[in-house]
Structure formats: structure tokens, C-alpha cells
């Protein structure tokens, strides 16, 4: 188990700025030490405001040409669909950064799900030059937390929560759209840093269960995220952190 850090901001808008600041800082650090920053983006509504800030107020704080973008999960829809996680990141951030196509490693939600999962494993092997049995080491994986305690597209009760052989799983979840592609916890747990973003009162019970509840990843899938040799950072607003002990 690596280091753990919980950052609590008074309001959601301050959380977005703090998350963007942390990402810009981590990008600079990674680019200085090994020449590039490999980030896996999350879907959901919370990161959208962070992506917008990164592309505007933080535009000149990051050397975008040295950033490689990946995704933690994707809905099985086309890249232009309003429900696509790629489409959200593209609209809010990527389209404003003047990137080369080879910097954007999207999950191909338009493929048949199992084929999409295998294609993304192939993409990870190629992009990280992985040898057989090796896992990618992301500089940063951004994650959200669902009210039902899911993260990525690992929903309560899904056997994919315990997947260790595959890097990417095709799953059928209890939310629309049902068919999704997701990195497995094994991949995320090999990252250098993992950052959960959660805001709002509706997240308070989920945050409490995942951080302080009894260990039960089948019920609380976000507990499966536990980087072995990396840092886990929670960036929360006051409302999302309100049920944590001592806050
Ligand atoms: C997705 C996600 C998902 C998300 C959480 C939190 O594709 O839906 O990647 O895991 O991060 O559902 O979403 P919010 O930030 O919208 O609450």
C-alpha cells in the first residue's frame, strides 16, 4: 500500500481549481523526470469542469505536446455520442489543446464490447511498450465515485472488480448505457498516482463507506483501488467529506 492523502475544499468550484492545479503540477514533474505525462481520464460530470479549467486558465501551465491521454472507462457508443466519455473530454479540453492524433488513446466504444476491450489492451501494450505480463504505469489516473460506490465502470457485484489477468474488461452495468469498457483495478493499482474527485452531498455516504467502511469491494467497488507503489489522493468538497470522521 502506498501513500494516502485527503484534500478537502470548501466549495466545488475550489475543488475544480485545486484538482487542475495538482494535475498541472504532476504533469510538469513527470515531463521533467521522464519526458512525458501519461494520464487516464475519467468520465462523469465532476471532471468536466476540471478539464475546462485545464484548457483555459491552465493552458500555459502544461506542455501539452508531452501529454499522452488515455481513458479509465468508456461507454459503448460512438465517439460523437453525447454519452461518450471521449466526447466529453474532447469537447471540454482536448479540442482546445492543438494535440497530435497520436497523443489521444481513446477506447473504441463503437466496437463490439469484447473486441473493444482487446483492442484497448493492444493499444496499451503498444503505447507503453509492454512486455508479456507487464502492466502500464500511468503517471496519473483520474477517477470519479458513483453514489452506488462504483468507480471506473466497476459496479457493485461485478466479477470484473476482481479481474487480475485482463487490463481492460467489457462489462454490462446497472446504468445507461449498460455496455461499457473499463480498465481493471489491477492496472489502476500499478499507477504512480490515482486521484479521486467527488463533490456534493449526494457523494457523502459513498465517500464515507469507501474510505472508512469495512473492506468489501463487491459492495464498495472503489475500495478495489489501492495503488501498490503509488499515491492515492482524494480531492473532495466539504459536502462530500462531511461524514468522514474528524471533519
Ligand atoms: C462514467 C465514469 C464513472 C464516474 C462516476 C462519477 O463513465 O460514468 O467514469 O465512473 O466517474 O459515475 O460520476 P460524476 O462525477 O458524474 O458523479
Ligand 1 mean position, distance from CA 163 (Å): 20
CATH number of the domain at 3-237, out of 3.40.50.1360, 3.40.50.880, 3.90.180.10, 3.40.50.1580?
3.40.50.1360
Q: Are 22 and 15 in contact (CB under 8 A)?
A: no
pLDDT, tens digit, 9 for 90 and up, residues 5-46: 999 999 999 999 999 999 999 999 999 999 999 999 999 889
Nearest to 145 by CA among 232, 63, 55: 232
Residue 245 predicted with pLDDT over 70: yes
Q: Residue 3 has what pLDDT?
A: 82
pTM of the model: 0.97
Any atom of ligand 1 within 6 Å of the Cβ of 144: yes
Q: Cell match 465517500: residue?
A: 207
Q: Residue 243 has what pLDDT?
A: 98
Ligand 1 mean position, distance from CA 42 (Å): 7
For range 57-78, the mean pLDDT? 98
Nearest atom in ligand 1 to 150's CA: 10
pLDDT, tens digit, 9 for 90 and up, residues 197-222: 999 999 999 999 999 999 999 999 99
Cell, residue 87: 466526447
**Candidate of 40, 46, 146 to mutate for ligand 1, largest count of ligand atoms within 8 Å of Cβ:** 146
Q: Are 53 and 16 in contact (CB under 8 A)?
A: yes
Mean pLDDT of the chain: 97
Closest C-alpha to ligand 1, atom 8: 44
Q: How far apart are CA 233 and CA 238, in angstroms?
A: 15
Q: Residue 247 has what pLDDT?
A: 67
**Counting beta carbons within 10 angstroms of the beta carbon of residue 97, is it exposed (0 to 12), middle (13 to 18) or buried (19 or more)?**
middle
SS3 assignment for 29-87: HHHHHHCCEEEEECCCCHHHHHHHHHHCCCHHHCCHHHEEEEECEEECCCCCCCCCHHH
Q: Residue 145 has what pLDDT?
A: 98
Q: Residue 1 has what pLDDT?
A: 63
| CA 144 vs CA 73, 132, 182, 198, 213: distances in Å | 11, 30, 13, 6, 18
Any atom of ligand 1 within 6 Å of the Cβ of 202: no
Residues in the chain: 247
In this prediction, residue 246 has a pLDDT band, given cuts at 50, 70 and 90, of: low
**Counting beta carbons within 10 angstroms of the beta carbon of residue 219, is it exposed (0 to 12), middle (13 to 18) or buried (19 or more)?**
middle
Residue 2 predicted with pLDDT over 80: no
Q: Residue 140 has what pLDDT?
A: 98
| CA 124 vs CA 56, 107, 242: distances in Å | 29, 10, 38
For range 180-204, the mean pLDDT? 98
The per-type count for the chain, helices as H runs and strands as E runs, is 6, 9
Any atom of ligand 1 within 6 Å of the Cβ of 42: yes
Amino acid at each position: 500500500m502506498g501513500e494516502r492523502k485527503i484534500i478537502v475544499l470548501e466549495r466545488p468550484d475550489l475543488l475544480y481549481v485545486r484538482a487542475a492545479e495538482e494535475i498541472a503540477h504532476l504533469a510538469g514533474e513527470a515531463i521533467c523526470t521522464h519526458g512525458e505525462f501519461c494520464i487516464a481520464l475519467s468520465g462523469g460530470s465532476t471532471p468536466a469542469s476540471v478539464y475546462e479549467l485545464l484548457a483555459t486558465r491552465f493552458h500555459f501551465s502544461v506542455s501539452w505536446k508531452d501529454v499522452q491521454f488515455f481513458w479509465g472507462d468508456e461507454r459503448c457508443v460512438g465517439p460523437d455520442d453525447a454519452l461518450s466519455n471521449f466526447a466529453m473530454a474532447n469537447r471540454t479540453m482536448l479540442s482546445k489543446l492543438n494535440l497530435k492524433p497520436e497523443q489521444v488513446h481513446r477506447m473504441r466504444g463503437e466496437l463490439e464490447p469484447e473486441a473493444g476491450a482487446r483492442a484497448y489492451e493492444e493499444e496499451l501494450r503498444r503505447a507503453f511498450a509492454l512486455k508479456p505480463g507487464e502492466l502500464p504505469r500511468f503517471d496519473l489516473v483520474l477517477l470519479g465515485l458513483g453514489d452506488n460506490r462504483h468507480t471506473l465502470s466497476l459496479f457493485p457485484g461485478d466479477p470484473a472488480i476482481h479481474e487480475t489477468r485482463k487490463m481492460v474488461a467489457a462489462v454490462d452495468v446497472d446504468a445507461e448505457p449498460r455496455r461499457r469498457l473499463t480498465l481493471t483495478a489491477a492496472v489502476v493499482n500499478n499507477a504512480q498516482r490515482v486521484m479521486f474527485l467527488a463533490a456534493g452531498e449526494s457523494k457523502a455516504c459513498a465517500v464515507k463507506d469507501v474510505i472508512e467502511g469495512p473492506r468489501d469491494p463487491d459492495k464498495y467497488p472503489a475500495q478495489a483501488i489501492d495503488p501498490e507503489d503509488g499515491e492515492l489522493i482524494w480531492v473532495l468538497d466539504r459536502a462530500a467529506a462531511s461524514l468522514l470522521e474528524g471533519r
